Amino acid sequence: MAEFKVPELGENVPGGDVTNVLVKVGDTIAVDQPVLELETDKATVEVPSSVAGRVTEIKVKPGEKVNVGAVVLVVEDGNGNKAQGSTTPKAQLEDQTAQTPTPDAPKAGAPKDKVVSMPAKAQGSSAKPQAAVAKPPAQPSKPAGGHPAAPAALSVRRLAREVGVNIDDVQGSGPEGRISEEDVKEHARRILSSMPSLGSGAPASAGGVAARPAVPLPDFSRWGEIERQPMSNVRRTTSERLSHAWTTIPHVTQFDKADISAMEELRRKYREQVAAAGGNLTVTAMLVKVIATAVKQFPQFNSSLDPQSNEIVYKKYVNVGVAVDTDRGLLVPVVRNADSKNITEIAVDVHQLAEKARSRKLTLEEMSGGGITISNLGGIGGTYFTPIVNWPEVAILGVSRGIVEPVWRADPSTGSGQGKWEPRQLLPLSLSYDHRVIDGADAMRFLRWVVEAVEQPFLLSLLG
């Protein structure tokens, strides 16, 4: 018999909710065949099997929460033998890599290299598992005191370092005490909740904000009937990420209006042509192209701050996130290499990503790697708002509903300031940014550049 376990699902994804089991007992499955649907805190993903054979037992059911490393299926081949394929979860492979001696410093008496089988998915193959040369795992290193190293994947160790937690102090809840990312977060919460408030002289946290214990809610049922509902994975993650961004990033928001009268004429003129290509020529799609060109003129807006090394990471690629309102909450798929795509291609990408977001088909990869984000609430209404920066990015552009207003249009031929009032369609823009990386003057220059590019589309052809 072979057990298939939930593999690593992505960076900082400890597990998810089972929404559907795609096989049943008695089915014969192949390597890379989807066997499970999981709703993580970022997307609904199909989990492919790394083993082939006949399913003899299913250990999960819809509605259950499962973590990485949990057993999903028990599989055997037709003769009752162990099924083919690798059953080593990615997390275990990460541990093996973490414990492997480096070429520069081999362990004394270490055995020679050997071949280990890795899941076909990890190799990018859809056929059979591939063989990969790897160092055999050395004995776990022992910290001071003679205790073995804490059982945790590299991604979990990285999270512990980022939040300032000693991984050896964390109590693991997984099999054989294995430590998950949720264990690290819970350990960090206990530390923070035990710290006194700022008023009692408590030290500030790494983000510059003093940690405060959670204040319990009053008993609302004293005043009438109430109902409690658990937060969805997406809502919980949105809450955690925005709380982190708000307490870590010193936000500033600047506002302006762009005259989109000419843009609207172009949009109406070419809407059907773009629709024939499979896209939707929206203001958002056109702004993605504007922003992608703008960050090449202002590279600090396509960067991230690394406070641990006191460095700013400038990204040479241009990926633009687009916030999408769904029935599960806010999701932000990413238009990749937006600077090298024309507006039609971007319109197709935005349309397809939005559809996938609403139908729960977005992958984790499609929501990763953004450099700057656009959040358009114009379809709902409003004038201005103050969007929260999508950490670890440093800027986000908020877009509200276009409104028709009278604008004084001077007559350049007279040279005497003569002109007239004209009705023009104006688009309210709100730019929030990380003041640690971006100064107010640069933010205003960036926003004015965006406004001028919207009002004079030739600027995109000139500099794009």
Q: Measured between alpha carbons, how far is 146 from 133 in angstroms, rounded to an integer? A: 31
Question: 3-state SS of 34-62?
Answer: EEEEEECCCCEEEEECCEEEEEEEECCCC
Closest of 192, 137, 125 to residue 164, by C-alpha: 192
Taking 3-state DSSP, the helix, strand and coil percentages for the chain, each rounded to the nearest 5, stand at 30, 25, 45
Please check whether residue 342 is in contact with residue 271, taking contact to mean a CB–CB distance below 8 angstroms.
no
User: What Å distances lie between residue 410 and 96, 139, 413, CA to CA?
Assistant: 71, 78, 9
Quick one: tokens of 253? 């928001």
One-letter amino acid for residue 402 of the chain: G
Is 435 a catalytic site residue? yes
Contact predicate 221/207, CB 8 Å: no
CA dist list (Å): 241 to 11, 12, 247, 249, 338? 14, 12, 10, 12, 25
DSSP H/E element including 429: strand 419-434
The angle subtended at Cα 79 by Cα 73 and Cα 82, nearest 5°, is: 45
With H, G, I as helix, E, B as strand and everything else as coil, classify residue 282.
Answer: coil
Q: From the candidates 187, 244, 351, 435, which is the catalytic residue? A: 435
- Nearest of 44, 194, 47 to residue 119 by alpha carbon: 47
DSSP assignment of 331-394:
E--EETTGGGS-HHHHHHHHHHHHHHHHTT---SGGGS--SEEEEE-TTT--S---PPP-TTSS
Q: Which amino acid is at 8?
A: E
Coil vs helix vs strand at 179: strand
Nearest to 462 by CA among 286, 290, 338: 290
Residue 275 exposure: Cα atoms within 13 Å on the Cβ side: 7
What are the φ and ψ backbone dihedral angles of 335, each rounded to 5 degrees?
A: -85, 115
Catalytic residue list? 435
